[in-house]
Each structure stands twice: as C-alpha cells, then as structure tokens.
C-alpha cells in the first residue's frame, strides 16, 4: 500500500497516473460540446450505489474507467458555450496547472512551518488585490473557501468593531438583491432575526441610497446601532452594482462599517475597459472577492480584504502546538513585506485552520496570462451580455428585466396568446426543466416581483450571440409545446 503514497520512490508512478488522468479529462473536454447529458438522479444513483467501496480496484486506470460511468460522462460541463446557468466559469489552464501542483505538494497555509513560500505568495496576492481595490497601506486579508465565508468573516469583524456588545441592537443594511449569505452570517453571529434591514432597489436593481439614509436615521432614532452597510458590487441575479460612493458617504456619516460584496464583480478589478464601475470600492472597510467567479479560477478561490490589518485580530486564537504567542521568534525568516522578523502565520487571520494553497492558482494565472489577460476575458463576457440584451429587447417573445452592467440576463418568455401569469410562470419553469433534460443547454431561473423568470449567467468567452439566439429559440419551443398541451386541457 506504500506504493500509493506520493514520495521520492513513487514520483514516476505519480507522473504516469496523473498524465493518464489529465489525458482522459483533456479528451473529454475536447469532445464534449454539450453542457450535460440530461441524466436524471434516478438513472445515475443506481450506478453510484452499485460501486462496492470495500473492494478497491487497486489500479488507477481501472478507477478512471469506472469514473467515466459514475461521473465524467454525465458531469455538467462549464466549458460548454451553452452552459449559461449559474456563476460558474470555465477555468484557465495556468490555474488548473497550479491546482495540480498545490495538491501534490499539499502545503497547508495555516502556519509558516507548513507552507513557507506558499504563505509569502498568498500575502503578495492579498497585497496585490488590496492595491487594485485601493484600500491603502494598512490593508490585509486572507484567502477563503468562497464568498459565503468571506462575507461571514467580514461581518464578524464588523460586529467586533461595533459600538455596542448588545447583539440585539445591531443592524446590518443590505439591498433586497444582496446575497443570502448576509442573512446567514447574521444568524451565525448571534444577531436577532430583525438584524438585516433590507433596502429597496431602483429600476436597475441598485440599492436606493435615499432609502438607506432613511433607514440609518431611523435606526439611530430608535437607539439601535448600525453595525455594517453591505454594498453589493455585482448582484447574483442582475449583476447590478450598488452606488458605492454614496454608500461610502453614508457609512462615514453614521460611523458604520462598509463591506463591499464583490464576489461577482471583482473581475472588474482587472478589466481594461470597465474598472471605473467599481469606483468608490476603495472606501470599503472590507471587500469580498471570488476569484472562482470572474477570474476564471477553479473552485475554491476567494478572499476577504480589509482596510485595517489590525481588525483581523478578531479572528486570532492561539494554540501552543500551532501558533503560540508571542509570534515573534528567534530565527524568523528575513524581514520583508512588513514582516519585521515575526513568523507569518496566516491562521492568525483566518476562520479556517488547515487551509488549501488556493492562492497558487491565481499566482500561476497572473504569471502566465497577466491581469489584463484575465480582465479581457471578463470584458468579453460583459460585451456578450450587452449584445444578448439587444437580442432580448428586440424580441417580442421575451421580457428582459435590466440592461446588464456585468454578464447576467434575466428574462421571461411571454407568449402572444396567453395572459394568465401563472400559466406563463409554469411555461417558463417547464422550458428550463425541458432544456436541462435535453442536455442541449443549461439556464438558471429566478423570481422577479413574484413571477418566474429565466437567467443567463454568461462567464464563458466562447459563448457567442448565435448560441444565445439558439438557446432562446429552444426555450420558446419548449414553452410553446407546454402551452399547447396545457391550453388543450384547459379548454
């Protein structure tokens, strides 16, 4: 069994099995154009259940053969130009290369003595991101598992910095289009059910700052304490960007923490054409970025950045075996980047302990493609969304909600012959399901004003306007078929 351990003796074996695995996935990607096969849970579950986990195959080739049946053939492929559903991206090759390296070396980024250069690489990328945001000289941050965790940590810091320890008095303000992780975080942080104040959005799905000002004033008048204002830079459904400069001004006026959730919009940080859409983000106290959304990185790759490094102390706990205090030790690595002889233990800043070296993927990406290269890809999908909006707006079969700032389109099929909104809801839902079952394309769904809408999240630069037009044709076909059947029954 030792032969399965990766070490100097098995390096050749590792090389062979990884090469074979890479070969298979590369062939899969090269020959799979459709995003999905349409397999159902009922069809696939018996295949997975039939595997006897107590009878190993012993051999990587055999396990890869088996994997074709249980996973690879029927996976959902984000590299397909007709995968248009959620905030998932096709990944760039340098990042996948980084993934192969980081899991083989298996550094853990909690302490310097488990990572060495890995820690320094992560810190460089945190500094690089903070600089792109414009957070100033005292900024810091840490990589996380995703936007959910980044938002949780940011709000934890905001809670600890708040002007009261009476949790029942704390209020968080975010738009009605903000991500549900804001609510989830509030609950995890022990705040009351009323803690998150939902601020209405304007026609473009951006937070109404007049309403925010009124709610902040009301909060103060009622003797409550504003803990944080969460501005979303790229809402999950609409890609809308809240008015960051105005929100920053209000946060300053009411002396409250400003968090910017740029999980989706962070790609603008490297966009050669659209960086200005994030103007005002530099005023934030904390920022969430999901590189695994708009930087074309494999899951997981995310970070939380803070304006003031000192606030990260709220995540610091010590263990004698891991990161004993004081952290200043004899024999520290050479001082650089403000380390001043202390041992850089990233666990002091993180909610996690053992932690993947996800930063390496972004590092390889920047070293191979450069920031502009990534930003150009994001610009391409934003351009595509703008073209898709033109298509939808000119198409009498569809109602489209907002002209996109980023790369989502929310729309609804509206048949000429039917006016019953419930039936139209069902036709749209049916079209989405039927499309998924066909495997020809994958689109998402959401609700707008209580009505069923459909959504394209465009993150694949390979998708064309022809793909969008073709998928709209397929949706119309499925919806019409449903209406045909149901109108016959109804009459």
Ligand X SMILES: *Cc1c(COP(=O)(O)O)cnc(C)c1O
| Alpha carbons 76 and 80: distance in angstroms, whole number | 9
Helix (H) or strand (E) holding 457: strand 451-457
Q: Is residue 91 part of the contact set for ligand X (CB under 6 A)?
A: no
Q: Which ranges of 354-415 does DSSP label H, i.e. alpha helix?
A: 359-368, 370-393
Asked whether position 146 contacts ligand X by CB under 6 A, the answer is yes
**Cβ atoms of 56 and 62 closer than 8 Å:** no
Within 295-314, the residues that bind ligand X by CB under 6 A are: 302
153 lies in the site for ligand X, by CB under 6 A: no
CA 231 to CA 490: how far, in whole Å?
A: 46
How many CB atoms sit inside 10 A of residue 109's CB?
Answer: 28
- Report residue 409 as tokens: 């389109």
Nearer to ligand X, 114 or 407 (CB): 407
With tokens 């910095």, the residue in question is 161
Q: Among 80, 114, 115, 148, which residue sits at the site for ligand X (rule: CB under 6 A)?
A: 148
Q: Helix, strand, or coil here: 210? A: helix
Does residue 179 bind ligand X (CB under 6 A)?
Answer: yes
Q: CA dihedral in degrees (401, 402, 405, 406; nearest 10)?
A: 0
| CB burial readout 294-307, b (16+ within 10 A) else e | bbbbbbbbbbbbbb
Q: Which region among 144-152, 409-417, 433-441, 447-455 touches ligand X (by CB under 6 A)? A: 144-152
Picking from 267, 280, 168, 183, the residue whose alpha carbon sits closest to that of residue 224 is 168
Q: Which of 147, 280, 344, 461 binds ligand X (CB under 6 A)?
A: 147
Say which residues have a Cβ less than 8 Å from residue 211's Cβ, sequence separation at least 6.
199, 200
- Name the minimum Å distance from CB 263 to ligand X: 4
In the bound complex, what is the minimum distance in angstroms from residue 40's beta carbon to ligand X?
25
Burial class (CB in 10 A: 0-12, 13-18, 19+), 314: middle
Stretch that binds ligand X, among 127-135, 142-150, 185-193, 238-246 (CB under 6 A): 142-150
Least distance (Å) between residue 105 CB and ligand X: 24
**Judged by CB under 6 A, which of 264, 357, 378, 411 binds ligand X?**
264
Given 111, 153, 208, 232, the residue binding ligand X (CB under 6 A): 232
Nearer to ligand X by Cβ, of 87 and 186: the residue is 87
Site stretch for ligand X (CB under 6 A), options 25-33, 93-101, 140-148, 157-165? 140-148
Distance from C-alpha of 460 to C-alpha of 164, rounded to nearest angstrom? 46
Residue 87 engages ligand X in binding (rule: CB under 6 A) = yes
**In the complex with ligand X, which residue's Cβ is closer, 146 or 344?**
146
| Strand ranges of the sheet holding 140-144, from the earlier edge strand across to the other edge | 140-144, 302-306, 286-290, 257-262, 225-232, 170-175, 196-199
Closest CA to 441 of 50, 126, 80: 80
Q: How far is the CB of 109 from ligand X (least distance, A)?
A: 18
Q: Shortest Cβ distance from residue 240 to ligand X (Å)?
A: 10
Task: Enter the tokens of residue 356.
Answer: 């993947």
- Is 84 or 224 the residue whose CB approaches ligand X more closely? 84
Q: Which of 107, 115, 175, 181 binds ligand X (CB under 6 A)?
A: 181
For 68, 407, 424, 481, the CA distances from 488, given in Å and listed in that order, are: 43, 38, 15, 11
Which residue sits closest to ligand X, CB atoms considered? 147
User: In the complex, what is the shortest distance from the CB of residue 17 to ligand X, in angstroms, rounded to a whole number?
Assistant: 30
**Chosen residue from 110, 282, 290, 467 binding ligand X by CB under 6 A:** 290
Cβ neighbours, 10 Å, residue 210 = 12
- Output 261 or 282, the one with its CB closest to ligand X: 261
Piece in contact with ligand X (CB under 6 A), picked from 93-101, 206-214, 230-238, 363-371: 230-238
Output the CA–CA distances (angstroms, integers) from residue 25 to 102, 298, 301, 315, in the order listed: 19, 15, 21, 39
Task: Examine residue 123 and tell whether it contacts ligand X (CB under 6 A).
Answer: no
**Size of interface with ligand X, in residues (CB under 6 A):** 15
Q: Closer to ligand X at the Cβ: 323 or 460? A: 460
Per CB under 6 A, the segment of 197-205, 261-269, 385-393, 415-423 that binds ligand X is: 261-269
Pick from 236, 346, 365, 460: which binds ligand X (CB under 6 A)? Answer: 236
Least distance (Å) between residue 143 CB and ligand X: 12
User: Using the rule CB under 6 A, is 261 a contact of ligand X?
Assistant: yes
Residues 281, 300 contacting (CB under 8 angstroms) = no
Residues that bind ligand X (CB under 6 A): 87, 146-148, 151, 179, 181, 232, 234, 236, 261, 263-264, 290, 302
């Amino acid at each position: 069994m030792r032969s399965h351990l990766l070490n100097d003796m098995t390096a050749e074996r590792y090389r062979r099995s990884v090469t074979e695995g890479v070969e298979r996935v590369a062939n899969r990607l090269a020959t799979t154009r459709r995003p999905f096969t349409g397999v159902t849970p009922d069809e696939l579950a018996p295949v997975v259940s039939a595997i006897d986990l107590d009878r190993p195959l012993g051999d990587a080739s055999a396990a890869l053969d088996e994997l074709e049946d249980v996973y690879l053939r029927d996976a959902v492929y984000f590299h397909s130009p007709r995968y248009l559903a959620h905030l998932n991206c096709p990944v760039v090759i340098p990042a996948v290369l980084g993934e192969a390296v980081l899991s083989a070396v298996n550094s853990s980024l909690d302490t310097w003595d488990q990572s060495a250069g890995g820690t320094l690489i992560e810190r460089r990328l945190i500094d690089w991101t903070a600089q792109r945001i414009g957070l100033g000289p005292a900024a810091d941050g840490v990589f996380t598992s995703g936007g959910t965790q980044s938002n949780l940590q940011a709000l934890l810091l905001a809670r600890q910095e708040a002007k009261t320890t009476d949790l029942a008095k704390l209020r968080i303000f975010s738009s009605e289009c903000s991500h549900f992780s804001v609510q989830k975080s509030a609950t995890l942080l022990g705040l009351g059910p009323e803690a998150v104040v939902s601020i209405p959005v304007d026609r473009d799905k951006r937070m109404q700052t007049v309403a925010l000002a009124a709610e902040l004033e009301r909060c103060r008048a009622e003797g409550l304490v504003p803990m944080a204002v969460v501005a979303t830079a790229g809402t999950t459904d609409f890609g809308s960007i809240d008015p960051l400069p105005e929100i920053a001004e209000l946060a300053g006026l009411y002396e409250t923490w400003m968090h910017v959730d740029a999980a989706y919009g962070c790609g603008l940080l490297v966009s050669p054409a659209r960086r200005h859409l994030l103007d005002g983000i530099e005023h934030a106290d904390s920022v969430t970025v999901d590189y695994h959304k708009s930087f074309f990185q494999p899951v997981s790759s995310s970070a939380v950045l803070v304006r003031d490094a000192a606030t990260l102390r709220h995540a610091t706990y010590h263990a004698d075996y891991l990161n004993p205090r004081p952290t200043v030790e004899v024999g520290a690595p050479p001082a650089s980047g403000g380390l001043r002889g202390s041992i850089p233990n990233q666990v002091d800043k993180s909610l996690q302990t053992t932690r993947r070296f996800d930063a390496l993927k972004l590092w390889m990406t920047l070293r191979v493609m450069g920031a502009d290269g990534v930003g150009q890809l994001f610009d391409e999908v934003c351009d595509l969304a703008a073209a898709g909006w033109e298509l939808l707006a000119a198409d009498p079969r569809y109602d489209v909600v907002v002209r996109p700032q980023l790369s989502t389109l929310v729309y609804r099929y509206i048949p000429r012959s039917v006016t019953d909104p419930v039936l139209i809801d069902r036709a749209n839902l049916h079209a989405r399901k039927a499309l998924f079952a066909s495997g020809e394309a994958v689109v998402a769904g959401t609700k707008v004003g209580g009505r069923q809408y459909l959504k394209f999240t465009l993150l694949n630069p390979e998708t064309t306007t022809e793909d969008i037009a073709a998928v709209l044709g397929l949706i119309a076909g499925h919806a019409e078929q449903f209406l045909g059947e149901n109108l016959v029954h109804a009459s």
